[in-house]
Amino acid sequence: MELTTQQKDFIRQHEQDDVKELALKLDKEKYRSLDVALVLSQIVGRQTAREKFPRWYNTDGIIYPVHLSLEQASSEITAGYKASLVPGGFGRLVDLTGGMGVDFAALSQRFEQSVYVEQDQDLCHIARHNFSVLGLQGISVVNDPGEAFLQRMEPAEMIYLDPSRRDNVGRKVVRIEECSPDVSVIREQLLAKAKLVVIKFSPMLDISLALKSLGRVSEVHVVSVENECKELLFLLSPDAMATLFHAVNLYRTGKMERFYFSPEEEQNVEIPFASAVGSYLYEPNASILKAGGFKSVAKRYGVQKLHVNSHLYTSDRPVYDFPGRMFEVRQWFVPNRQNVKQFLSQTKKANITVRNFPLSVAEIRRKTGLKEGGELYLFATTVARDTKIWVTGTRL
C-alpha cells in the first residue's frame, strides 16, 4: 500500500491547495497514471492531520482513509488523554470499532497485546500499513464486525468502542440507540468480556440519559481542547457502584484543567449566591458546563454564583487557579436606556457573552452597534431577584 514517488511529490506540491478547485482544473488524462482520486484524498488527509494528528502528519508513508473516517477520528491530543487513563503493561486491549486507528495507536502503547477490529476491509488494509509505519508492537488487525468478534473473543483487560454516529443514509446521529453498534444492547456482553469498557460519544449526547441507558458507569470524562468540548468518555466496569465526573480541558501547550465531582456532591452541596458583582468574574470551562458541575465548582473554589441559572461566578479576591476564564470587573449596571447610552458613548466594541439573558449576542450587537473584538468583555446575565445586568471587564 505504498504511494509512488510521483504520487508523494504531487501531494507535497499541492498540499496547500484548495482540493475542490484542484480537482476541477486537474487534467485527468495527463495524470491518469497518478490515481487522481487517491492523491486528492491524501491531500485532504494531510491537511486534516497537520493539526489534528501531528505525529501522523510528520511520519513519512502514512496513508489517509476516506473523509468520513478522518472526521470521526479522535485528535492526537484526546487520544493521548485516553491512553493516560490506563496504567502501562496492562495486558490485552480490544478496539471493536477500529476506524482510522488514532485512539488505537495511542492506547496500544499501554498494553502488551492489542487487537484492532474493523468491518471495513479497506480501513483494515490502511490501518495495518499505518501501524507498521508508526512502529507499533504487539498488535493484530481483524477484519470483522465488532459485534461478531465480541461473541467469540477471549476476555481482555479493556475494550474500547467509538460507535459510528451516522445512520444508514449518512445522517449524523447522537443518541446511543441510534449509533452503531448500540452499546446499550451489548452492554452485558461487553462487561462479561472486559474488566474495563471505554466508550467515546459525541459531546452533544445527553449525559443523564446516557447514564440511564448504560448503567454501571464508574466514570464520565468530558474532554475539551482549548475550551471546545470534543468528546464524552464513559468508563464501565462490572463492579461500578457510583459515578465520578471528570471535566477536562486540554491545551496544546501541555497545560490541563481538570475538575472532579460526583452527581451526589453536585445535588447536595449548598452554596451562597452573590448579592452583588465582586471585583472578579469567572466563567467555567466548556467541560464543567457540559458536565453540570455548577455548584461543585463554586464550593471548591470559594466563589459565589450570580444566579441559579446563570453559571457565572464572582469574588472580591482573585482565584487564579479557577478552571475557566477569569476577568477583572470594570463595572456592572442594569441595561436601561440611560445606562446603555452612557456606556455606548465610551465604548465602540466588545466581546459579548450571554448567560441566562433574554437577548442573544446578535440581538445585543444589532441594538447597540457594538463591534466584535478589543480587550473589553461584556457579559449579559441575570443575578439575584432575576435582575438583568451587564458586566464589563478585562481578561486576566
Q: What is the pLDDT of residue 175?
A: 86
How much is the pTM?
A: 0.93
Please determine, for residue 108, whether its predicted confidence score (pLDDT) is greater than 90.
yes
- Packing angle, helices 207-214 and 183-193, rounded to 10: 50
Grid coordinates representing 83 are 491512553
Question: Which pLDDT tens digit goes with each residue over 176-218?
Answer: 888 889 999 999 999 999 999 999 999 999 999 999 999 999 9
Q: Report, as an integer, the average pLDDT of 258-263.
A: 96
CA distance 148 to 158: 17
Grid coordinates representing 140 are 493484530
With cell 452583588, the residue in question is 276
Number of H helices and E strands in the chain, helices first, is 16, 16
CA distance 122 to 102: 16
CA distance 56 to 37: 21
Question: Which pLDDT tens digit goes with each residue over 385-395?
Answer: 899 999 999 99
What does the DSSP assignment read for 114-167?
Answer: EEEEES-HHHHHHHHHHHHHTT--SEEEEES-HHHHHHHPPPEEEEEE--B-B-
Question: Which pLDDT tens digit goes with each residue over 213-255?
Answer: 999 999 999 999 999 999 999 999 999 999 999 999 999 999 9
- Paired residues of 260 in beta bridges: 246
Q: Report, as an integer, the average pLDDT of 109-114.
A: 96
CA geometry: angle at 195 spanning 193 and 200, to 5°?
90
